[in-house]
Chain A
């Protein structure tokens, strides 16, 4: 699940679709106009409808935001396997192409690729 402020989650999915093709395993959600309680409930509904026994990762923008908070609640309840925050497109690309790999190998790879993709020129 990608949950983020404004239209960012849909935007990430749109960008991913452009560079890596359709993504049936990524579900976007905005926190727009939702209280913290309503956001957590909406995420729970999404999990009920689509997880079907599979492990779920939650990707979000701000750790300190309501999306990150909802993620930590789901993590505490063992409803998601991990919460990634401060995400960027390279991190999601790595997830898309390596999601079948074991978590202990996948997570460091995603973080490394995400950080390596950040820079400035000249």
Chain B
């Protein structure tokens, strides 16, 4: 399985992911890593209902993702890994998932967060996660859609 993109996006499965990145990268499967969604069949159904044919979605806990991703990345399927926040992606990296670059999509305005880009708002923990990734040699770039401006987040913190 080839991971075509590791993306942090609190909307998870939505237009930019399915239409923009999914089509461009020819993703066959979306893997959403979220303990909350992995335990909710009804929420999973709401997300899956709108998917176009040919694109599947799986919902894994962080523990499942940490255990399965290194192994399944050796198959031929093309998957796009989604987490709702930087903290989840960081924990996957710490657990040994070989993440070489992180794409950040929408992290929207919320209490405690400050804007660094029109579609990226970060709190102090998020900023630290970006620095942690960069210190570990993992580039963190913000780019909402293919063709959009790609911004190295470390440079706008």
A residues at B contact (CB < 8 Å): 5, 33-36, 38, 61-69, 72-73, 76, 85
Contacts and interface: CB of A to CB of B under 8 A. Distances in A.
A61 B19 CA distance: 12
Contact of A35 (B46, B47, B52, B106): B106
Contacts, number: 54
A5 B106 contact: no
Given A33-B118, A35-B106, A35-B108, 4 more contacts: A64-B51, A67-B15, A69-B11, A72-B46
Contact of B49 (A5, A66, A72): A72
A79 to B, nearest CB: 14
Given A62-B19, A65-B50, A33 B109 contact: yes
Contact of A68 (B50, B108, B110): B50
Given A62-B50, A64-B18, A72-B46, A38 B13 contact: no
Interface string B1-28: 0000000001111110011000000000
Interface residue SS majority, chain B? loop
B50 A72 contact: yes
Contacts of A64: 13-15, 18-19, 50-52
A67 B14 CA distance: 8
B75 interface: no
Contacts of A85: 50
Contacts of A34: 108
Interface string B120-151: 00000000000000000000000000000000
Given A35-B106, A72-B50, A76-B42, A66 B19 contact: no
Sort A-B residue pairs by CB-CB distance and give the 7 closest, nearest first.
Answer: A65-B15, A63-B50, A66-B14, A64-B50, A35-B108, A64-B18, A68-B50
